[in-house]
A and B are shown apart, each in its own frame.
Chain A
Amino acid sequence: MSADISLSCPALAKILLHAARYPQTAVSGVVLAPARSGGGGDTGTPSTVTLVDAVPLFHLNLSLAPMLEVALTQIEQWYKTEGLVIAGYYQANENIKDNVPDFVALKVAEKIAENNNDACLIMIDNSRLCLDLVVAPVIVSQLTSEGKWKSKDRSSVHVEAGALDVVSQLLQRRVQHDVCDFDNHLDDLTCDWANPQINKLLTTLSAAAQD
Protein backbone atom coordinates (compact mmCIF):
# COMPACT_ATOMS: atom_id res chain seq x y z
CA MET A 1 0.00 0.00 0.00
CA SER A 2 2.88 2.35 0.59
CA ALA A 3 4.53 1.21 -2.63
CA ASP A 4 5.64 3.75 -5.18
CA ILE A 5 3.93 3.62 -8.53
CA SER A 6 5.81 3.79 -11.79
CA LEU A 7 4.00 4.47 -15.04
CA SER A 8 5.65 3.09 -18.14
CA CYS A 9 5.41 4.85 -21.46
CA PRO A 10 2.88 2.44 -23.03
CA ALA A 11 0.59 2.68 -19.99
CA LEU A 12 0.68 6.48 -19.86
CA ALA A 13 0.37 6.77 -23.63
CA LYS A 14 -2.71 4.59 -23.92
CA ILE A 15 -4.42 6.23 -20.98
CA LEU A 16 -3.92 9.76 -22.29
CA LEU A 17 -4.61 8.88 -25.92
CA HIS A 18 -7.86 7.24 -24.89
CA ALA A 19 -8.93 10.34 -22.97
CA ALA A 20 -7.89 12.58 -25.87
CA ARG A 21 -9.88 10.54 -28.36
CA TYR A 22 -13.16 11.16 -26.53
CA PRO A 23 -12.98 14.68 -25.12
CA GLN A 24 -16.75 14.89 -24.81
CA THR A 25 -17.35 11.80 -22.64
CA ALA A 26 -15.93 10.02 -19.67
CA VAL A 27 -13.54 7.19 -20.44
CA SER A 28 -12.32 4.27 -18.40
CA GLY A 29 -9.82 1.47 -18.58
CA VAL A 30 -7.52 -0.78 -16.61
CA VAL A 31 -3.79 -0.84 -16.04
CA LEU A 32 -1.59 -3.92 -15.96
CA ALA A 33 1.43 -4.86 -13.90
CA PRO A 34 3.63 -7.93 -13.65
CA ALA A 35 2.16 -10.60 -11.41
CA ARG A 36 3.74 -10.68 -8.00
CA SER A 37 5.86 -13.76 -7.60
CA GLY A 38 5.65 -15.35 -4.19
CA GLY A 39 1.90 -14.99 -3.76
CA GLY A 40 0.13 -13.37 -0.85
CA GLY A 41 2.53 -14.40 1.82
CA ASP A 42 4.82 -11.37 1.43
CA THR A 43 5.33 -9.46 4.61
CA GLY A 44 8.02 -7.13 3.31
CA THR A 45 6.98 -3.76 1.86
CA PRO A 46 6.94 -4.00 -1.96
CA SER A 47 9.33 -1.51 -3.53
CA THR A 48 7.64 -0.21 -6.68
CA VAL A 49 4.63 -1.28 -8.66
CA THR A 50 5.39 -0.78 -12.34
CA LEU A 51 2.33 -0.31 -14.52
CA VAL A 52 3.60 -1.68 -17.78
CA ASP A 53 0.56 -1.35 -19.98
CA ALA A 54 -3.05 -0.22 -20.09
CA VAL A 55 -6.22 -1.42 -21.78
CA PRO A 56 -8.81 1.23 -22.67
CA LEU A 57 -12.27 -0.04 -21.85
CA PHE A 58 -15.24 2.24 -22.36
CA HIS A 59 -16.37 5.64 -23.45
CA LEU A 60 -20.10 4.90 -23.26
CA ASN A 61 -22.03 4.12 -20.10
CA LEU A 62 -19.19 3.36 -17.77
CA SER A 63 -21.59 2.34 -15.04
CA LEU A 64 -23.12 -0.72 -16.70
CA ALA A 65 -21.96 -4.11 -15.46
CA PRO A 66 -22.28 -6.83 -18.09
CA MET A 67 -19.75 -5.59 -20.65
CA LEU A 68 -17.39 -4.59 -17.86
CA GLU A 69 -17.44 -8.15 -16.55
CA VAL A 70 -16.82 -9.57 -20.01
CA ALA A 71 -13.96 -7.14 -20.57
CA LEU A 72 -12.24 -7.80 -17.24
CA THR A 73 -12.53 -11.56 -17.77
CA GLN A 74 -11.09 -11.42 -21.27
CA ILE A 75 -8.27 -9.10 -20.29
CA GLU A 76 -7.28 -11.20 -17.33
CA GLN A 77 -7.30 -14.32 -19.45
CA TRP A 78 -5.34 -12.74 -22.29
CA TYR A 79 -2.56 -11.24 -20.21
CA LYS A 80 -2.18 -14.21 -17.86
CA THR A 81 0.03 -15.86 -20.47
CA GLU A 82 2.32 -12.81 -20.42
CA GLY A 83 2.56 -12.84 -16.65
CA LEU A 84 0.56 -9.65 -16.23
CA VAL A 85 -2.38 -8.95 -13.95
CA ILE A 86 -4.93 -6.17 -13.73
CA ALA A 87 -3.36 -3.76 -11.28
CA GLY A 88 -5.71 -0.81 -11.33
CA TYR A 89 -8.45 1.22 -12.97
CA TYR A 90 -8.28 4.59 -14.65
CA GLN A 91 -11.02 7.04 -15.43
CA ALA A 92 -11.31 10.46 -16.97
CA ASN A 93 -14.51 12.25 -16.00
CA GLU A 94 -16.72 14.02 -18.49
CA ASN A 95 -16.25 17.48 -17.05
CA ILE A 96 -12.84 19.11 -17.50
CA LYS A 97 -12.74 20.40 -13.96
CA ASP A 98 -13.87 17.16 -12.37
CA ASN A 99 -11.15 14.77 -11.28
CA VAL A 100 -12.91 13.25 -8.29
CA PRO A 101 -13.62 9.50 -8.52
CA ASP A 102 -17.35 8.80 -8.78
CA PHE A 103 -19.21 5.77 -7.53
CA VAL A 104 -18.31 3.77 -10.65
CA ALA A 105 -14.59 4.38 -10.26
CA LEU A 106 -14.67 3.50 -6.59
CA LYS A 107 -16.68 0.33 -7.14
CA VAL A 108 -14.54 -1.03 -9.95
CA ALA A 109 -11.30 -0.13 -8.22
CA GLU A 110 -12.47 -1.85 -5.05
CA LYS A 111 -13.33 -4.97 -7.01
CA ILE A 112 -9.87 -5.00 -8.55
CA ALA A 113 -8.33 -4.41 -5.15
CA GLU A 114 -10.02 -7.56 -3.86
CA ASN A 115 -7.79 -9.56 -6.14
CA ASN A 116 -4.72 -7.35 -5.92
CA ASN A 117 -3.54 -5.60 -2.77
CA ASP A 118 -1.54 -2.95 -4.57
CA ALA A 119 -4.37 -1.94 -6.87
CA CYS A 120 -4.42 1.71 -7.76
CA LEU A 121 -7.14 4.09 -8.84
CA ILE A 122 -5.95 6.57 -11.44
CA MET A 123 -8.01 9.66 -12.17
CA ILE A 124 -6.93 11.72 -15.14
CA ASP A 125 -6.50 15.38 -14.34
CA ASN A 126 -8.34 16.65 -17.40
CA SER A 127 -7.28 20.25 -17.09
CA ARG A 128 -3.60 19.26 -17.18
CA LEU A 129 -3.91 17.22 -20.36
CA CYS A 130 -2.23 19.21 -23.12
CA LEU A 131 -0.03 18.94 -26.17
CA ASP A 132 3.16 19.69 -24.27
CA LEU A 133 3.12 17.61 -21.14
CA VAL A 134 5.38 18.80 -18.38
CA VAL A 135 3.89 16.69 -15.65
CA ALA A 136 1.85 13.48 -15.84
CA PRO A 137 -1.79 14.61 -15.66
CA VAL A 138 -2.86 11.81 -13.35
CA ILE A 139 -3.86 11.46 -9.73
CA VAL A 140 -3.00 8.03 -8.39
CA SER A 141 -4.71 6.64 -5.29
CA GLN A 142 -4.34 3.47 -3.30
CA LEU A 143 -6.34 1.88 -0.52
CA THR A 144 -5.38 2.66 3.04
CA SER A 145 -5.75 0.05 5.77
CA GLU A 146 -9.12 1.62 6.67
CA GLY A 147 -10.40 0.89 3.19
CA LYS A 148 -10.32 4.49 1.95
CA TRP A 149 -8.76 5.63 -1.29
CA LYS A 150 -5.94 8.05 -0.58
CA SER A 151 -4.15 9.94 -3.33
CA LYS A 152 -0.42 9.54 -3.39
CA ASP A 153 1.77 12.60 -3.52
CA ARG A 154 3.74 13.40 -6.63
CA SER A 155 6.99 12.12 -5.24
CA SER A 156 5.72 8.53 -5.10
CA VAL A 157 4.41 8.52 -8.66
CA HIS A 158 7.15 8.08 -11.24
CA VAL A 159 6.93 8.23 -14.97
CA GLU A 160 9.30 6.42 -17.31
CA ALA A 161 12.03 8.75 -18.54
CA GLY A 162 11.13 10.44 -21.80
CA ALA A 163 7.54 9.23 -21.64
CA LEU A 164 6.05 12.71 -21.35
CA ASP A 165 7.85 13.86 -24.51
CA VAL A 166 6.84 10.79 -26.44
CA VAL A 167 3.18 11.06 -25.40
CA SER A 168 3.16 14.80 -26.22
CA GLN A 169 4.44 13.92 -29.68
CA LEU A 170 1.70 11.34 -30.12
CA LEU A 171 -0.97 13.83 -29.10
CA GLN A 172 0.42 16.42 -31.50
CA ARG A 173 0.32 13.86 -34.28
CA ARG A 174 -3.28 12.97 -33.35
CA VAL A 175 -2.46 9.31 -32.81
CA GLN A 176 -5.45 9.13 -30.46
CA HIS A 177 -7.66 8.32 -33.42
CA ASP A 178 -5.90 4.96 -33.76
CA VAL A 179 -6.56 3.84 -30.21
CA CYS A 180 -9.15 1.06 -29.79
CA ASP A 181 -11.10 0.51 -26.64
CA PHE A 182 -13.39 -2.31 -25.64
CA ASP A 183 -16.47 -0.40 -26.79
CA ASN A 184 -14.93 -0.12 -30.28
CA HIS A 185 -14.16 -3.84 -30.13
CA LEU A 186 -17.77 -4.73 -29.30
CA ASP A 187 -18.95 -2.66 -32.26
CA ASP A 188 -16.35 -4.18 -34.58
CA LEU A 189 -14.58 -7.34 -33.48
CA THR A 190 -11.57 -6.60 -35.67
CA CYS A 191 -10.61 -3.69 -33.40
CA ASP A 192 -7.92 -4.95 -31.07
CA TRP A 193 -8.22 -3.55 -27.55
CA ALA A 194 -4.63 -4.61 -26.84
CA ASN A 195 -3.54 -1.88 -29.29
CA PRO A 196 -0.37 -3.60 -30.53
CA GLN A 197 0.04 -0.86 -33.14
CA ILE A 198 0.53 1.70 -30.37
CA ASN A 199 3.11 -0.48 -28.62
CA LYS A 200 4.95 -0.84 -31.91
CA LEU A 201 4.85 2.90 -32.55
CA LEU A 202 6.21 3.56 -29.08
CA THR A 203 9.11 1.15 -29.58
CA THR A 204 9.98 2.89 -32.84
CA LEU A 205 9.82 6.35 -31.25
CA SER A 206 11.88 5.36 -28.23
CA ALA A 207 14.49 3.72 -30.47
CA ALA A 208 14.64 6.85 -32.58
CA ALA A 209 15.03 9.01 -29.50
CA GLN A 210 17.98 6.96 -28.39
CA ASP A 211 19.86 7.37 -31.67
Chain B
Amino acid sequence: MATLDLDWEEVRDQLRAWREDNTRHSEEVVDTWEHCLKHYKTKLGDERWMVEEQVFVAGLDCNRLDIADPCLMALNEQFPGSLRVRKLRAMRFEALEKFDEAMEVYDNIIRQDETNSTARKRKVAVLRGQGRITDAIKELTEYLKLFMSDSEAWQELCDLYLKEGDYSKAAFCMEELILSNPHNHLFHTRYAEIKYTQGGLDNMEIARSYFCQAAKLNPGNVRALYGLFMSCTQVLSSPKLSAQKKKETQQLATWALKEVSERYSRCRTNTMDGSKILETLGALSITDKA
Protein backbone atom coordinates (compact mmCIF):
# COMPACT_ATOMS: atom_id res chain seq x y z
CA MET B 1 0.00 0.00 0.00
CA ALA B 2 1.36 3.40 -0.93
CA THR B 3 0.26 4.83 2.42
CA LEU B 4 3.10 3.03 4.19
CA ASP B 5 5.43 5.65 2.75
CA LEU B 6 3.46 8.55 4.14
CA ASP B 7 4.89 10.68 6.85
CA TRP B 8 2.63 10.42 9.91
CA GLU B 9 2.62 14.18 10.27
CA GLU B 10 1.32 14.55 6.74
CA VAL B 11 -1.46 12.10 7.52
CA ARG B 12 -2.31 14.00 10.67
CA ASP B 13 -2.53 17.26 8.72
CA GLN B 14 -4.63 15.65 6.02
CA LEU B 15 -7.08 14.31 8.58
CA ARG B 16 -7.23 17.73 10.20
CA ALA B 17 -8.04 19.36 6.85
CA TRP B 18 -10.82 16.86 6.22
CA ARG B 19 -12.23 17.48 9.69
CA GLU B 20 -12.28 21.20 9.12
CA ASP B 21 -13.92 20.90 5.72
CA ASN B 22 -16.31 18.31 7.08
CA THR B 23 -15.84 16.20 3.95
CA ARG B 24 -16.33 12.47 3.70
CA HIS B 25 -13.21 10.45 2.91
CA SER B 26 -13.99 7.37 4.94
CA GLU B 27 -11.98 4.86 2.92
CA GLU B 28 -8.85 7.00 2.97
CA VAL B 29 -9.21 7.82 6.66
CA VAL B 30 -9.42 4.13 7.50
CA ASP B 31 -6.50 3.24 5.22
CA THR B 32 -4.14 5.93 6.48
CA TRP B 33 -5.04 5.19 10.08
CA GLU B 34 -4.54 1.47 9.73
CA HIS B 35 -1.29 1.62 7.85
CA CYS B 36 0.30 4.67 9.36
CA LEU B 37 -1.20 6.96 11.95
CA LYS B 38 -2.38 4.23 14.32
CA HIS B 39 1.20 3.56 15.27
CA TYR B 40 1.80 7.20 16.15
CA LYS B 41 -1.38 7.94 18.04
CA THR B 42 0.43 8.71 21.27
CA LYS B 43 2.31 11.49 19.47
CA LEU B 44 -0.89 13.33 18.54
CA GLY B 45 -1.38 15.05 21.87
CA ASP B 46 -4.80 16.56 22.44
CA GLU B 47 -5.68 16.14 18.81
CA ARG B 48 -5.69 12.39 19.35
CA TRP B 49 -9.28 12.33 20.59
CA MET B 50 -10.65 14.18 17.58
CA VAL B 51 -8.75 11.83 15.31
CA GLU B 52 -10.06 8.79 17.19
CA GLU B 53 -13.59 10.13 16.75
CA GLN B 54 -12.99 10.76 13.04
CA VAL B 55 -11.55 7.30 12.52
CA PHE B 56 -14.44 5.78 14.45
CA VAL B 57 -17.03 7.35 12.18
CA ALA B 58 -15.00 6.46 9.08
CA GLY B 59 -14.71 2.89 10.32
CA LEU B 60 -18.48 2.65 10.74
CA ASP B 61 -18.92 4.07 7.24
CA CYS B 62 -16.71 1.38 5.74
CA ASN B 63 -18.11 -1.43 7.85
CA ARG B 64 -14.75 -1.84 9.58
CA LEU B 65 -15.84 -2.41 13.15
CA ASP B 66 -12.41 -3.84 13.82
CA ILE B 67 -11.07 -0.33 13.28
CA ALA B 68 -13.95 1.51 14.91
CA ASP B 69 -14.32 -0.42 18.18
CA PRO B 70 -10.84 0.21 19.63
CA CYS B 71 -11.36 3.92 18.96
CA LEU B 72 -14.64 3.89 20.85
CA MET B 73 -13.04 2.07 23.76
CA ALA B 74 -10.21 4.60 23.93
CA LEU B 75 -12.66 7.51 23.84
CA ASN B 76 -14.86 5.93 26.50
CA GLU B 77 -11.88 5.48 28.78
CA GLN B 78 -10.74 9.03 28.30
CA PHE B 79 -14.18 10.67 28.56
CA PRO B 80 -16.41 8.49 30.73
CA GLY B 81 -20.04 9.62 30.82
CA SER B 82 -19.58 12.02 27.92
CA LEU B 83 -22.69 12.68 25.84
CA ARG B 84 -20.55 13.08 22.75
CA VAL B 85 -19.14 9.57 23.22
CA ARG B 86 -22.62 8.25 23.95
CA LYS B 87 -23.72 9.61 20.58
CA LEU B 88 -20.91 7.63 18.97
CA ARG B 89 -22.14 4.50 20.69
CA ALA B 90 -25.58 5.13 19.22
CA MET B 91 -24.02 5.56 15.76
CA ARG B 92 -22.48 2.16 16.23
CA PHE B 93 -25.95 0.74 16.81
CA GLU B 94 -27.06 2.44 13.60
CA ALA B 95 -24.21 0.80 11.70
CA LEU B 96 -25.35 -2.57 13.01
CA GLU B 97 -28.90 -1.67 11.93
CA LYS B 98 -30.07 -1.77 15.55
CA PHE B 99 -32.17 1.30 14.96
CA ASP B 100 -34.42 1.01 18.00
CA GLU B 101 -31.45 0.84 20.38
CA ALA B 102 -29.90 3.81 18.62
CA MET B 103 -33.09 5.86 18.95
CA GLU B 104 -33.24 5.02 22.65
CA VAL B 105 -29.75 6.33 23.24
CA TYR B 106 -30.51 9.52 21.31
CA ASP B 107 -33.72 10.09 23.26
CA ASN B 108 -31.69 9.59 26.43
CA ILE B 109 -29.19 12.21 25.38
CA ILE B 110 -31.95 14.67 24.56
CA ARG B 111 -33.58 14.07 27.92
CA GLN B 112 -30.31 14.88 29.65
CA ASP B 113 -29.57 17.88 27.47
CA GLU B 114 -32.46 19.56 25.66
CA THR B 115 -30.13 21.82 23.69
CA ASN B 116 -28.25 18.95 22.13
CA SER B 117 -28.81 19.43 18.43
CA THR B 118 -26.60 16.60 17.13
CA ALA B 119 -28.64 13.87 18.81
CA ARG B 120 -31.83 15.31 17.35
CA LYS B 121 -30.30 15.37 13.90
CA ARG B 122 -29.04 11.82 14.26
CA LYS B 123 -32.63 10.76 14.89
CA VAL B 124 -33.53 12.17 11.50
CA ALA B 125 -30.60 10.26 10.02
CA VAL B 126 -31.85 7.03 11.61
CA LEU B 127 -35.27 7.52 10.07
CA ARG B 128 -33.72 8.26 6.70
CA GLY B 129 -31.53 5.18 7.00
CA GLN B 130 -34.62 3.09 7.58
CA GLY B 131 -36.22 4.58 4.46
CA ARG B 132 -38.92 6.33 6.53
CA ILE B 133 -38.68 9.57 4.62
CA THR B 134 -42.00 11.07 5.69
CA ASP B 135 -41.17 10.42 9.35
CA ALA B 136 -37.74 11.93 8.82
CA ILE B 137 -39.35 15.02 7.34
CA LYS B 138 -41.69 15.32 10.32
CA GLU B 139 -38.86 14.95 12.80
CA LEU B 140 -36.72 17.46 10.94
CA THR B 141 -39.47 20.08 10.72
CA GLU B 142 -39.94 19.77 14.49
CA TYR B 143 -36.21 20.25 14.92
CA LEU B 144 -36.21 23.33 12.71
CA LYS B 145 -38.95 24.94 14.82
CA LEU B 146 -36.40 24.93 17.66
CA PHE B 147 -33.19 25.47 15.73
CA MET B 148 -34.37 27.55 12.78
CA SER B 149 -30.99 28.96 11.77
CA ASP B 150 -29.36 25.58 11.15
CA SER B 151 -28.37 25.72 7.47
CA GLU B 152 -27.32 22.09 7.38
CA ALA B 153 -30.77 21.08 8.55
CA TRP B 154 -32.54 23.20 5.93
CA GLN B 155 -30.37 21.62 3.23
CA GLU B 156 -31.20 18.16 4.51
CA LEU B 157 -34.91 19.01 4.58
CA CYS B 158 -34.70 20.25 0.99
CA ASP B 159 -33.06 16.99 0.02
CA LEU B 160 -35.78 14.96 1.75
CA TYR B 161 -38.55 16.92 0.04
CA LEU B 162 -36.87 16.37 -3.33
CA LYS B 163 -36.79 12.65 -2.61
CA GLU B 164 -40.52 12.81 -2.09
CA GLY B 165 -41.03 14.89 -5.21
CA ASP B 166 -42.43 17.80 -3.20
CA TYR B 167 -40.78 20.54 -5.23
CA SER B 168 -42.66 23.48 -3.74
CA LYS B 169 -41.64 22.61 -0.17
CA ALA B 170 -38.09 21.97 -1.33
CA ALA B 171 -38.13 25.42 -2.94
CA PHE B 172 -39.28 26.90 0.37
CA CYS B 173 -36.27 25.36 2.13
CA MET B 174 -33.95 26.87 -0.44
CA GLU B 175 -35.63 30.25 0.04
CA GLU B 176 -34.80 30.06 3.75
CA LEU B 177 -31.21 29.24 2.90
CA ILE B 178 -30.91 32.08 0.41
CA LEU B 179 -32.33 34.50 2.99
CA SER B 180 -29.60 33.64 5.46
CA ASN B 181 -26.85 33.10 2.87
CA PRO B 182 -27.56 35.59 0.06
CA HIS B 183 -24.07 35.30 -1.42
CA ASN B 184 -24.00 31.56 -1.81
CA HIS B 185 -24.17 30.87 -5.54
CA LEU B 186 -24.83 27.19 -4.97
CA PHE B 187 -28.06 27.91 -3.12
CA HIS B 188 -29.22 30.20 -5.91
CA THR B 189 -28.42 27.50 -8.46
CA ARG B 190 -30.23 24.79 -6.54
CA TYR B 191 -33.28 27.02 -6.10
CA ALA B 192 -33.31 27.85 -9.79
CA GLU B 193 -33.07 24.15 -10.70
CA ILE B 194 -36.05 23.37 -8.49
CA LYS B 195 -38.10 26.19 -10.02
CA TYR B 196 -37.16 25.00 -13.51
CA THR B 197 -38.26 21.48 -12.66
CA GLN B 198 -41.61 22.75 -11.40
CA GLY B 199 -42.21 24.22 -14.86
CA GLY B 200 -44.65 26.85 -16.09
CA LEU B 201 -43.80 30.33 -17.32
CA ASP B 202 -43.70 32.02 -13.88
CA ASN B 203 -41.40 29.40 -12.39
CA MET B 204 -39.25 29.48 -15.50
CA GLU B 205 -38.81 33.25 -15.21
CA ILE B 206 -37.88 32.90 -11.55
CA ALA B 207 -35.42 30.15 -12.49
CA ARG B 208 -33.93 32.42 -15.10
CA SER B 209 -33.33 35.25 -12.61
CA TYR B 210 -31.80 32.95 -10.01
CA PHE B 211 -29.50 31.28 -12.53
CA CYS B 212 -28.53 34.79 -13.59
CA GLN B 213 -27.78 35.79 -10.01
CA ALA B 214 -25.76 32.64 -9.44
CA ALA B 215 -23.71 33.30 -12.57
CA LYS B 216 -23.16 36.86 -11.37
CA LEU B 217 -21.99 35.65 -7.93
CA ASN B 218 -19.70 33.08 -9.50
CA PRO B 219 -18.96 33.41 -13.21
CA GLY B 220 -17.30 30.00 -13.12
CA ASN B 221 -20.52 28.21 -12.20
CA VAL B 222 -21.18 26.11 -15.27
CA ARG B 223 -24.51 24.82 -13.94
CA ALA B 224 -25.73 28.41 -13.63
CA LEU B 225 -24.67 29.21 -17.19
CA TYR B 226 -26.27 26.11 -18.63
CA GLY B 227 -29.34 26.67 -16.49
CA LEU B 228 -29.56 30.27 -17.66
CA PHE B 229 -29.46 29.17 -21.27
CA MET B 230 -32.05 26.42 -20.73
CA SER B 231 -34.46 28.62 -18.79
CA CYS B 232 -34.18 31.40 -21.37
CA THR B 233 -34.95 28.92 -24.13
CA GLN B 234 -37.98 27.67 -22.23
CA VAL B 235 -39.21 31.22 -21.60
CA LEU B 236 -38.78 32.06 -25.28
CA SER B 237 -41.05 29.20 -26.26
CA SER B 238 -43.95 30.80 -24.41
CA PRO B 239 -46.45 32.62 -26.64
CA LYS B 240 -47.29 35.17 -23.93
CA LEU B 241 -43.99 36.99 -24.16
CA SER B 242 -43.82 40.64 -25.26
CA ALA B 243 -41.44 41.54 -28.08
CA GLN B 244 -39.19 43.54 -25.75
CA LYS B 245 -38.85 40.69 -23.26
CA LYS B 246 -38.26 38.28 -26.08
CA LYS B 247 -35.33 40.30 -27.32
CA GLU B 248 -33.81 40.57 -23.83
CA THR B 249 -34.21 36.87 -23.15
CA GLN B 250 -32.68 35.99 -26.50
CA GLN B 251 -29.67 38.17 -25.73
CA LEU B 252 -29.29 36.53 -22.34
CA ALA B 253 -29.48 33.06 -23.87
CA THR B 254 -26.87 33.89 -26.49
CA TRP B 255 -24.57 35.34 -23.85
CA ALA B 256 -24.91 32.28 -21.61
CA LEU B 257 -24.13 29.91 -24.47
CA LYS B 258 -21.13 31.98 -25.46
CA GLU B 259 -19.81 31.84 -21.89
CA VAL B 260 -20.24 28.08 -21.80
CA SER B 261 -18.44 27.62 -25.14
CA GLU B 262 -15.63 29.84 -23.93
CA ARG B 263 -15.16 27.74 -20.80
CA TYR B 264 -15.02 24.58 -22.87
CA SER B 265 -12.46 26.00 -25.27
CA ARG B 266 -10.37 27.17 -22.31
CA CYS B 267 -10.23 23.59 -21.11
CA ARG B 268 -9.15 22.20 -24.44
CA THR B 269 -10.68 18.79 -23.87
CA ASN B 270 -13.44 17.02 -25.77
CA THR B 271 -14.83 20.32 -26.90
CA MET B 272 -18.59 20.39 -27.01
CA ASP B 273 -19.76 22.85 -29.57
CA GLY B 274 -22.28 25.14 -27.92
CA SER B 275 -24.32 25.67 -31.05
CA LYS B 276 -25.01 21.95 -31.33
CA ILE B 277 -26.89 22.09 -28.05
CA LEU B 278 -29.22 24.69 -29.53
CA GLU B 279 -30.14 22.37 -32.40
CA THR B 280 -31.14 19.35 -30.43
CA LEU B 281 -32.73 20.98 -27.38
CA GLY B 282 -36.36 20.43 -28.22
CA ALA B 283 -36.43 16.65 -28.29
CA LEU B 284 -35.59 15.72 -24.74
CA SER B 285 -37.31 18.17 -22.47
CA ILE B 286 -38.82 16.35 -19.51
CA THR B 287 -40.48 19.12 -17.55
CA ASP B 288 -44.30 19.15 -17.50
CA LYS B 289 -45.25 22.38 -19.11
CA ALA B 290 -48.91 21.77 -18.36
Hey, which bits of chain A sit against chain B, CB under 8 A? Answer: 24, 61, 63-70, 72-74, 76-78, 94-95, 97-98, 102-104, 107-108, 111, 115, 174, 186-187, 189-190, 192, 194
Complex Cα distance A73/B280, Å?
6
Is B129 interfacial (CB-CB < 8 Å)?
A: yes
Whether B165 and A103, one on each chain, are in contact in the complex, defined by CB atoms closer than 8 angstroms, is yes
List, in ascending order, chain A residues with CB within 8 A of B217's CB: none
A161 to chain B, nearest CB (A): 31
Q: Contacting chain A: which of B66-74, B85-93, B115-123, B226-234?
A: B226-234
List, in ascending order, chain B residues with CB within 8 A of A115's CB: 283-284
Is B179 interfacial (CB-CB < 8 Å)?
A: no
Q: Residues of B within 8 Å of A, CB-based: how many?
A: 38
List, in ascending order, chain B residues with CB within 8 A of A64's CB: 162, 190, 193-194, 196-197
A interface footprint on B247-290 (CB within 8 Å = 1, 0 otherwise): 00000000000000001100101101000110111011111000
B205 to chain A, nearest CB (A): 14
B64 to chain A, nearest CB (A): 13
B165 to chain A, nearest CB (A): 5
List, in ascending order, chain B residues with CB within 8 A of A103's CB: 165
Looking at chain B's contact residues, is the secondary structure mostly helix, strand, loop, or mixed? helix
Q: How many A-B residue pairs have CB under 8 A?
A: 92
Choose one: B129, B223, B279, B280; the contact of A186 (CB below 8 Å).
Answer: B223
Choose one: B162, B190, B230, B270; the contact of A69 (CB below 8 Å).
Answer: B230
Whether A190 and B286, one on each chain, are in contact in the complex, defined by CB atoms closer than 8 angstroms, is no
B27 to chain A, nearest CB (A): 8
**A69-B263 contact, Cβ under 8 Å, with A186-B222, A190-B269:** no
13 interchain pairs (CB within 8 A)? A61-B162, A61-B193, A64-B190, A66-B193, A66-B223, A69-B281, A78-B270, A98-B131, A115-B283, A186-B223, A186-B226, A189-B222, A192-B270
Whether B193 and A67, one on each chain, are in contact in the complex, defined by CB atoms closer than 8 angstroms, is yes
Complex Cα distance A76/B192, Å?
25
Whether B284 and A72, one on each chain, are in contact in the complex, defined by CB atoms closer than 8 angstroms, is yes
List, in ascending order, chain A residues with CB within 8 A of B163's CB: 63, 94, 102
CB-based nearest A residue for B194: A64
A31 to chain B, nearest CB (A): 15
Complex Cα distance A120/B117, Å?
44
Complex Cα distance A61/B173, Å?
15
List, in ascending order, chain A residues with CB within 8 A of B222's CB: 186-187, 189
**A194-B230 contact, Cβ under 8 Å, with A72-B284, A111-B286:** no
Complex Cα distance A72/B272, Å?
13
